Amino acid sequence: MNKKSEPVVSTIDFASLIDWYVAQCDGTWEHQYGLKLETLDNPGWLLTIDLIHTDLQGWRMPELREGCGPDANPVSPRWIHCAVQDNQFKAACDPTQIARLFQVFHEFRLSQATRSGSNQATAAGGTARKS
């Protein structure tokens, strides 16, 4: 059954993501790593960004989980789950929060970039730490 709902208007500024991606492309990285945006059957979105061999390698962030159960499966119509695991930023959400996935990654990147020689910075409402 196909449900129709009011369109959700959100703006995504890809300039920062494009700049970060291009900075990683060194003739080697882009052949093994990158980023991927997929659809989910819940329905929703899944964003996976490889952090290995980037300035974000080894960095962690607090898990963001809203509208999800302990197993990270959605329990609400509006849900989002973001985490850094195994040198990948992985984020999933309901269809209406795709812009937020990119915003959480952007905040994670900024938190790492603005650390002033310390091993801590703020990201997505928490603290990013180098492991």
Per-residue pLDDT 10s for the chain (131 aa) are 455 555 565 788 899 999 999 999 999 999 999 999 999 998 999 999 999 999 999 999 999 999 999 998 999 999 999 999 999 999 999 999 999 999 999 999 998 887 634 443 333 344 455 65
**Sheet with 120-123: strands ordered across:** 59-60, 126-130, 120-123
**What does pTM read for this prediction?**
0.81
Q: Which helix (H) or strand (E) covers residue 88, if one does?
A: strand 88-93
**Residue 59, phi then psi, degrees to nearest 5:** -85, 145
Residue with tokens 């989002």: 80
* Rounded CA separation 85/13 (Å): 25
> Which tokens in the block code for residue 67?
């509208």
Give the pair of three-digit tokens for residue 114. 């603005």
